[in-house]
Copies of this chain bind each other. A is one copy, B any other.
Amino acid sequence: MAAKDRKTALIDHLKHAILTLELEPGSDLDEVALGEAFELSRTPVREVFRQLDGLGFVELRDNRGARVAALSHTTLRDFFLAAPMIYAAILRLAARNARPAQIEALKAAQAQFREALRTGVAAERALANNRFHEITGEMAGNIYLLPSFQRLLIDHARIGMSFYRPRTSQMVQNLDTARHHHDLIIAAIEVGDEDRAAELAEDHWALSRDQIELFVMPAALDAPLGEITRKTSA
């Protein structure tokens, strides 16, 4: 029984470390080192790799080591193309199917998210936000949508970690808007307002997109040397 626990501990560790960018996208995973660290032989470690590959955390290549799933420029484009649609569908179904116990869990997750905002630790915030959305996925309960949704959540967390530095007041303010969105989402789900829930999904992802724009395009200086063209993403 002890080995099983060490195995789940490894899974949890890897998920956590990958979501928080503690393990960088594309970085190599050493099956021997991880085996020693978690007191497991290579066999179960490799099984964990294959499992996390199936979930989108990790990438497996033949005769080469496992790597943390990449997060490239093109994936960012794919992300904002797919996210609004999938997320709107998930929240619509969440509003349709949410059970009372799940709504309580969602409220608890939101409390955690608030707390993370207060303490200001980026990793905590990303994980709490991730947990919030995970619950909406459970509420929707559609086995065909979940695989894509969960992959979106993985990269949502990582993108959130990447493209945020609390330098500008706008970025800090966006976080508060996100928190407010969550509250509105909870309310829409609680009353079963599907259309409202789907609408909020759009808003919520637009916010994420804006956040990235802020990061990619820092506040312009006073005197423009050339012409500054405003990029419109995706």
A residues bordering B, Cβ < 8 Å? 4, 43, 46-47, 50-51, 53-56, 62, 75, 78-79, 81-83, 85-86, 89, 93, 141-149, 151-152, 155
Contacts and interface: CB of A to CB of B under 8 A. Distances in A.
Nearest to A150: B147
Nearest to A93: B81
A213 B62 CA distance: 44
A85 B81 contact: no
A96 to B, nearest CB: 10
26 contacts: A43-B43, A47-B47, A47-B50, A50-B50, A50-B51, A50-B54, A51-B53, A53-B54, A54-B54, A54-B55, A56-B147, A78-B141, A78-B142, A78-B145, A81-B93, A82-B89, A83-B144, A85-B85, A86-B148, A144-B148, A144-B152, A144-B155, A145-B148, A147-B148, A148-B148, A148-B149
Nearest to A43: B43
A47 B55 CA distance: 15
A234 to B, nearest CB: 11
Contacts of A148: 86, 144-149
B82 A142 contact: yes
A144 B86 contact: yes
Contacts of A93: 81
Contact of A79 (B46, B79, B144, B149): B144
Contacts of A155: 144
Nearest to A88: B85
Contacts of A50: 47, 50-51, 54
